Amino acid sequence: MRFALIGNPGVGKSTIFNQLTGLGVEVNRYPGTAVALETGNVCYKKEKFEVINLPGIYSLDGNTDEEVLVRDFLLKGDADALIAVLDAPRLERNLYLLLQVSEFELPMIMIVNKMDEAERLGLSLDIGRLSGQLGVDVIGVAALQGRNVDRIVPAALGTARPATVRTPYDHHIEAALTSLEKTLSTPRHKNLLALQGMSQDPLLIDTAGSIAREIEQRHRMSVHQIIATNRHNYARTLASDVVAIGESKRSFDVDSLLTRTMPGIPILVATLGFMLLSVFVIGSWMERIIVSAFTNGVITPFASLGLPPLATQVGLSLLVALQAGLGIAFPFVFTFYVGLSLLEDSGYMTRAAFLADRAMHRIGLHGEAIIPMVIGFGCTVPAVMSVRILKTRREQTIAAFLITMVPCSARTVVIAGIVAAFVGILWAFSIYLIVFVLIVVSALFLSRITPGEQFGMIVEMTPLRCPQARLVLAKSWLRIKEFLFIAMPVLVITSIALGLFQYFGIIDAFQAIVEPLTTSLLGLPAYASTALLFGIFRKELAFETLAVLAGTADLGSVMNGVQLYTFAIISVLFVPCVSTIAVLYRNLGARIAVLASLYSLGLGIFIGALINFLMK
């Protein structure tokens, strides 16, 4: 048996999913999309059932990856029972999706979550009456307190049945549905989708298309609009019948602070600044522990094994890759993800998006783009993957370009390890400042030259709430797993390849070729070019390689401050790492991947040369 949770974003599906399944959740990328699908198991009366957490959506009639995924899932009838999750205080809006789901005639039960919040707002819901109207079992749940969560699985097993509720559509739509059903004998929900231009069946889409055009001419509105309006109106009728509005316990509205320019913007800057600083401090501390443990426990014993030179080289490369991966992944990326999940789960991220809208407009983006940008401070790879939340190609392109410039955790390590340690902490911050200015300048430039149009922000502001430790950790864990699966293999393979290059002397040859450029233009020692090259594979490797090639960890003794500073800024800017280029290629195509790489290469060398020239 398989159950699937379906509902709007932010209704508490994940809370319920986590309470039902406990640990051992798997995340699969649905074939052909970037959307993650969580799958877990639940035990009931010594039997195991599979639970799928479908991504949160507002409608089944849209074309976003999530909507298409859920729609296909329902069309295939992949689950034995659907568990529709609705939000009690926002019942009316949530019923809109439920009315659409009902049309698929799949066995289902319905959960009205956040009953506690509704009670606080003075709303009382007549669950029995709602159940009667919809023709399915409805359970009132307060997932955060665990109220009635135990009733979900027995109900899904015992009483799941297709809902009987049907939206009464405009008579032209109804007539079209009937005639399609009669002539082509296709089911109602497929006809509805076909009228809105969504169907794989060529005959159906053709017939429905011509009917739809006729209806649109008569109504002067799109069929989609007519259907949506009918559904919303019916949802209102249903909701007003079961929801009684009473006295609400008024509490202080924190949004009156968070969404105003004052003090909202200072709060936003402080929040993000605090988060990044904490990641930096906690990360460096944890990294030191992990790296030294790994060196003492694994690398030193391995090096003393006395294997043949080639085997030693390959083995060491592999171990160094693992060490670097772990040294970045857990201390920096994981800590960052915890912070990010806190921001998201508390609902603050949507406020941040709203406030950032104005600034983002200046650079050809809109508020929602702040989310990928912030993720970029953790790791560029998931940040590039998340640009798909932006609707147009233009916005995605600009955002992807800028994200490759945002200093990720690995670049933070370089800045901290080279500049903060040997030149001074203020100089380290000045690198952030320079990068920030460059991002803004690049953005202004890109927003002029990138073709395409802007879509604008439409974001539901999820209610502020206290994030739950367990969900935050679970979410961070899922994300870090994603990071490990994407970045780790690339890390290991490139590290071994570099080890072999070094072994066969290819690296020295490269160093000799670019030496004039390195020494005269950038004013760096010749071996710095090799370190930079390594940095393409993994940013923090630039720092480590530099130390190895310089023959000392005390870089201050072999390079002067200007050289260290130049080196750091070049490696921060110059060419995104291999994993980033790979996701750029996968998500936005070869052209953007090449352009972004060349752009940052050029920018890195230009700024490096400029600093060298000015400070020499």
Partner 1 sequence: MDPSLREDLLEAICLLTRDSQRSPGIREIASALDKPEGEIQSGVTTLAADGDVIYENDGTVTLTATGQELGKRVAKKHETLQCFLSEILGMDRSSASDEACVLEHAVSDDTINRIGTYMQSPPRRWSRGQGAEGHDTSPLPALTDFNEGDNLIVSGILGRERASRLLDLGVVPGERVRIKRKLANHALVVQIKGCDVALSPEVAASICVERSG
3-state helix/strand/coil string of 273-306: HHHHHHHHHHHHHHHHHHHHHHHHHHHHHHHCCC
Q: Which of 44, 302, 432, 455 binds partner 1 (CB under 8 A)?
A: 455
**Binding residues for partner 1 restricted to 247-266, rule: CB under 8 A:** 255, 259-261
State the Cα–Cα distance between residues 297 and 192, nearest whole angstrom.
64
Which one, 107 or 197, has the nearer CB to partner 1?
Answer: 197
# residues contacting partner 1 (CB under 8 A): 44
State the Cα–Cα distance between residues 419 and 470, nearest whole angstrom.
37
Backbone angles phi, psi at 27, to 5 degrees: -120, 125
Which one, 61 or 345, has the nearer CB to partner 1?
Answer: 61
Shortest approach of partner 1 to residue 63 CB, angstroms? Answer: 8
Tokens representing 67? 């909507």
The yes or no reply on residue 161 touching partner 1 (CB under 8 A) is no
If you write DSSP's letter for every residue of 342-405 in order, what string do you get? HHHHTTHHHHHHHHHHHHHHHTT--GGGHHHHHHHHH-HHHHHHGGGGS-SHHHHHHHHHHHTT
Q: Which of 41, 44, 62, 393 binds partner 1 (CB under 8 A)?
A: 62
Tokens representing 166? 């049907």
Q: Is the CB of residue 317 less than 8 Å from the CB of residue 393?
A: no
Shortest approach of partner 1 to residue 260 CB, angstroms? Answer: 7
Which one, 57 or 596, has the nearer CB to partner 1?
Answer: 57
Amino acid at site 336: F
**Binding residues for partner 1 restricted to 74-93, rule: CB under 8 A:** 89-90, 92-93
The yes or no reply on residue 147 touching partner 1 (CB under 8 A) is no
Shortest approach of partner 1 to residue 219 CB, angstroms? Answer: 5
Quick note: the x/- pattern for partner 1 over 163-182, rule CB under 8 A, is --------------------
Q: Is the CB of residue 425 less than 8 Å from the CB of residue 377?
A: no
Which one, 173 or 333, has the nearer CB to partner 1?
Answer: 173
Quick note: the x/- pattern for partner 1 over 333-372, rule CB under 8 A, is -----------------x--xxx-xx--x----xx-----
Which one, 137 or 345, has the nearer CB to partner 1?
Answer: 345
**Torsion angle in degrees (nearest 10) through CA of 518, 521, 523, 527:** 0
> What is the dihedral sign for C-alpha 314, 320, 324, 326?
positive
Which one, 59 or 519, has the nearer CB to partner 1?
Answer: 59
367 CB-contact burial (10 Å; exposed 0-12 / middle 13-18 / buried 19+): buried
Tokens representing 80? 């034995």
Shortest approach of partner 1 to residue 142 CB, angstroms? Answer: 18
Q: Is the CB of residue 190 less than 8 Å from the CB of residue 61?
A: no
Shortest approach of partner 1 to residue 404 CB, angstroms? Answer: 25
**Binding residues for partner 1 restricted to 463-522, rule: CB under 8 A:** 463
Burial call 54-84: b when 16+ CB within 10 Å, e when fewer? bbbbbbbbbebbbbbbbbebbeeeebbbbbb
**Binding residues for partner 1 restricted to 83-142, rule: CB under 8 A:** 89-90, 92-93, 96
Q: Is the CB of residue 80 less than 8 Å from the CB of residue 121?
A: no
Tokens representing 190? 């497929």
Q: Which of 58, 377, 543, 574 binds partner 1 (CB under 8 A)?
A: 58
Q: What letter would DSSP give residue 59?
A: -
The yes or no reply on residue 388 touching partner 1 (CB under 8 A) is no
Quick note: the x/- pattern for partner 1 over 208-247, rule CB under 8 A, is ---------xxxxxx-xx--xx--xx--------------
Shortest approach of partner 1 to residue 609 CB, angstroms? Answer: 38
Shortest approach of partner 1 to residue 355 CB, angstroms? Answer: 8
Q: Which of 128, 146, 452, 456 binds partner 1 (CB under 8 A)?
A: 456
Strands 2-7 and 47-53, bridge-based pairing = parallel
Tokens 């060490």, residue located: 323
Shortest approach of partner 1 to residue 108 CB, angstroms? Answer: 20
Which one, 461 or 558, has the nearer CB to partner 1?
Answer: 461
Shortest approach of partner 1 to residue 468 CB, angstroms? Answer: 22
Helices within 88-222 (DSSP H only): 91-102, 115-120, 127-134, 152-158, 171-184, 188-195, 202-219
The yes or no reply on residue 450 touching partner 1 (CB under 8 A) is no
Shortest approach of partner 1 to residue 385 CB, angstroms? Answer: 21
The yes or no reply on residue 389 touching partner 1 (CB under 8 A) is no
The contact set with partner 1 (CB under 8 A) reads: 58-59, 61-63, 89-90, 92-93, 96, 217-222, 224-225, 228-229, 232-233, 255, 259-261, 350, 353-355, 357-358, 361, 366-367, 454-461, 463
